[in-house]
Amino acid sequence: MNTGNVLEYDYSISKLFVWTTLIFGIVGMLVGVIIAFQMAYPSLNHIAGEYGIFGRLRPIHTNGVIYGFTLSGIWAAWYYLGQRVLKITYNQHPFLKIIGLLHFWLYVILIALAVIVLILGITQSKEYAELPWILDLIVVVVWVLWGISLFGSMAVRREQTLYISLWYFIASFVAISALYIFNNLAIPTYFVANVGSIWHSVSLYAGTNDAMVQWWWGHNAVAFVFTSAIIGVMYYFLPKESGQPIFSYKLTLFSFWSLMFVYIWAGGHHLIYSTTPDWVQTLGSVFSVILILPSWGTAINMLLTMRGQWHQLRESPIIKFMILASTFYMLSTLEGPIQSIRSVNALAHFTDWIIGHVHDGVLGWVGFTIIAACYHMVPRMFKREIYSKKIMEIQFWIMTLGIILYFSSMWIAGITQGMMWRATDEFGNLIYTFMDSVSSLHLYYLIRSIAGVLYLLGFFIFVYNIIMTMIASKELDKEPQYATPMSV
């Protein structure tokens, strides 16, 4: 509908994705806490027989957080902001609404099937690409449906200029489309050679080639889900929540094109000191270091958007979440390139320092951005103010403490591992056995587990605040222009 000159947006699909953001977030993070305690106390691997061991639960954690929580948050944001920046409404475009609903329900079915096959141990054994070939086909359909929604909405837009968030969404769609398909090309053995079950397949590539294609995908799953799509989310919600224009639109374009060109080649740094050609390793290292420029360009652009308005950091928990998310993005995108330098990688590779790097990005940058986006969207979609500002503040500090404990414990654990593995006596013999290094990490694994509990507790508080906002908070007479109204 169009009342006067004001479009009445259809939030039905975005609301559905907000719910899956909450549900998949709880599941993915809860499993993460369980496997963290399993690392500290290995006997916990036997809590549910073969279905409770680390090897079964870990892929559920990673897939649940990446493709459940994160993609749900990104798609909730797309179906909310897409209408706004393109000046359309799904009320006037029933085809786009049908596509959006198909997208949502097939996605939910896919996630449910993914949990079942992973808990049963059916997997391709590829990082971030564990799903068997049959589910890969469903992934492609889900992704194509998003593409139809994305480009279909742009085709009927009233606003001719494409806002920068859409550039990042387009980049995510195009890059993941190519990378996921190429990495998952496989031969189903049951149908070709009558060997194994219908789930089983072998990769189209072998040995070193398979590793290179895998980490071309693996690192860019981070690049184009955790990074470019989340940047698109942040570039909409930070200006909208603060009431401030983006500091520099030119800097957004510089950072965008630099990030797109450079990031795609950085995956080789996962294979340093392996059988991959030296030029692939060097290319990965060099491009990873160059990545500091566009990454920090983006983060600085976000921070400078708040110039002259830093008092909002004190007044608004949502701004707190966004600014700390940008800060963690800066930290993570400096740490990653440092770890890709050969001399540093010799110490860091295969250690928990890598885990620390991943999680200060995921918990801080990705998690806080999606949480802030939900806090901005829900009051406008349900026409109610945030249930409790005080609860938001408590959530913020609990989760921040959890993040700090997590990455600091993993930094110390990782450097400890690296130093112990390479320590030699005057005769060149290793001083420590591998088990010595494992035993020395118990305290840090325990701290990591406690950090996970704190972050999960903060997420439960977030879910409570969001649900109470939907059902019990004060109704809004009109949509706020920028700062989100909150009950004390």
- In DSSP notation, 25-93 reads HHHHHHHHHHHHHHHH-GGGGGEEEETTSHHHHHHHHHHIIIIIIIHHHHHHHHHHHHHHHHT--GGG-
pLDDT in tens, 83-117: 999 999 999 999 999 999 999 999 999 999 999 99
- Percent above pLDDT 70 for the chain: 99
Residue 140 resides in a domain: yes
Select from 322, 304, 447, 436 the least CA-distant residue to 372.
Answer: 322
The per-residue pLDDT of the chain, averaged, comes to 95
pLDDT at 244: 95
The mean pLDDT of 35-53, rounded to a whole number, is 94
Residue 379 resides in a domain: no
Cβ-based burial of 270 (10 A; exposed 0-12, middle 13-18, buried ≥19): buried
pLDDT at 304: 96
pLDDT in tens, 184-208: 999 999 999 998 899 999 999 999 9
pLDDT at 488: 85
Residue 211 resides in a domain: no
Q: Report whether pLDDT(63) > 50.
A: yes
Average the pLDDT over each of 11-20, 141-150, 233-242, 264-273 and give the range with the smallest value: 264-273
Residue 146 resides in a domain: yes
DSSP, collapsed to helix, strand or coil, labels residue 353 as helix
For 7, phi then psi, to 5°, come to -75, 140
The mean pLDDT of 214-224, rounded to a whole number, is 92
Residue 249 resides in a domain: no
Q: Report whether pLDDT(3) > 60.
A: no
Residue 63 resides in a domain: yes
DSSP string, 409-450: HHHHHHHHHHHHHH-B-TTS-BSS-HHHHHHTTHHHHHHHHH
The mean pLDDT of 20-27, rounded to a whole number, is 98
Q: Do residues 120 and 76 lie in contact, with contact meaning Cβ atoms separated by under 8 Å?
A: no
pLDDT tier at 2, thresholds 50, 70, 90: very low
Residue 76 resides in a domain: yes
pLDDT at 260: 92
DSSP, collapsed to helix, strand or coil, labels residue 20 as helix
Quote the longest CA-to-CA distance of the chain.
Answer: 84
Residue 170 resides in a domain: no
What is the total residue count of the chain?
Answer: 488
Range of the domain at 55: 12-158
The mean pLDDT of 132-149, rounded to a whole number, is 97
Q: Report whether pLDDT(227) > 70.
A: yes
pLDDT in tens, 447-477: 999 999 999 999 999 999 999 999 999 999 8
The mean pLDDT of 259-287, rounded to a whole number, is 94
pLDDT at 7: 84
Q: Report whether pLDDT(303) > 90.
A: yes
pLDDT tier at 423, thresholds 50, 70, 90: very high
pLDDT at 5: 56
pLDDT in tens, 311-357: 999 999 999 999 999 999 999 999 999 999 999 999 999 999 999 99
- pTM, entire model: 0.96
Q: Do residues 140 and 185 lie in contact, with contact meaning Cβ atoms separated by under 8 Å?
A: no
Q: Do residues 232 and 76 lie in contact, with contact meaning Cβ atoms separated by under 8 Å?
A: no
Domain count, the chain: 1
